[in-house]
Amino acid sequence: MKTLIAYYSRTDNTKKLAEKIAKELKADIDEIQDEKDRSGWIGAFIGGFDSLFKIKTPIENKKDPEKYDLIILGTPVWAGKMTPAIRTYFCKYEFKNIAFFSTSESEETKQFTEMTLLSKKPITTLSIKKSAINSNETNKKINELIHQLKQIK
């Protein structure tokens, strides 16, 4: 099964998790860039506003997810929702099979409800607190995720 890990990350937490999953799965990886300036507190504030009001944003990504059998899509949680870059990604592409992961301050899961509505039911989801990204518990959860994904082969 041809698998792509695609993610958006502003401050590298989601990137670190994406890289761990990609390494374990030996899968391709693609960073989705938000073309809006999200740097500094003003960028974060506007980002939170855009997320809350479901505003899309111009994005850049290198790999075409429609050429893959499975997309594992990662986002930080902003204002309890997916980030604008991921919202745009959903509008741009259709996916054969999908799984979601996220990082957040607290262990948030409600973002997955809307992500499911915008695409399709994910095979599995993984929500990780940013403080736990490098923990053994997260490594165990990644192994469980991989186990679940292997069921669809």
Ligand X SMILES: Cc1cc2nc3c(=O)[nH]c(=O)nc-3n(C[C@H](O)[C@H](O)[C@H](O)COP(=O)(O)O)c2cc1C
The smaller minimum CB distance to ligand X, of residues 10 and 96, is found at: 10
In whole angstroms, the minimum distance from the beta carbon of 69 to ligand X comes to: 25
In whole angstroms, the minimum distance from the beta carbon of 47 to ligand X comes to: 5
Going by C-alpha positions, the residue among 123, 133, 125 that lies closest to residue 103 is 133
Alpha helix segments (H runs only) across 96-135: 111-118
Q: How many residues bind ligand X (CB under 6 A)?
A: 21
Residues 6+ apart with CB under 8 A from 89: 6, 8, 32, 59, 61, 65, 73
Instruction: Draw the binding track, 44-83, toward ligand X (x: CB under 6 A; -: no contact).
Output: x--xx---------------------------xxxxx---
Tell me which residues touch ligand X (CB under 6 A): 9-15, 44, 47-48, 76-80, 103-106, 108, 130
